Amino acid sequence: MSTTASGTSTPAAIRPLAPADHEPLRALNNEFAAELNWQEPDSFESLLSNAFFTRTIGDQEALLVAFDQDDTYDNVNFIWHGKRRDKFVYIDRIVISPSARGKGYARALYDHLNAEAKAQGHQWVTCEIYVDPPNLGSIAFHEKLGFKEVGRGQANGKTVGYFEKQL
């Protein structure tokens, strides 16, 4: 965190991923495999190389991976949104290290993604969230940012809510 001249805090710099970030971010992802799914090195490299948007903050303290309608991604949730929207960005995963929680990193990453998506002509930002069993914190966070649930489906033996926000 840094402090501006007005005394408000700003998150650490958001930046594109460098090759040296991949393994530490894969380890961070795998700490939360129950929520995100486990990634082997090759599958993680493929995920990152095919994504529209990959960003981290600071010293690999957070990761956001998103795909757009032009990406090739064999994921039931991405495909569901693709059948509904033409110009969209799908948030595949966001993870914040436990030591960085409460610093505004998730909101900063989403703001950065929204700006990039809008600049590229996308009209929607979409995602899915576990609703059974419920991920109440994620649901509340997304609703606070303006996301609305627009459907439900099954993924990894769990019920997910499909959420979207118009840009």
Percent of the chain with pLDDT over 70: 93
The amino acid occupying position 65 is V
Please give the Cα distance from 123 to 125 (Å, whole number). Answer: 7
The pTM score is 0.91
Question: Does position 109 have pLDDT exceeding 60, yes or no?
Answer: yes
Which domains can be identified in the chain, with CATH numbers?
2-166 (3.40.630.30)
Local structure of residue 4 (DSSP, 8 states):
-
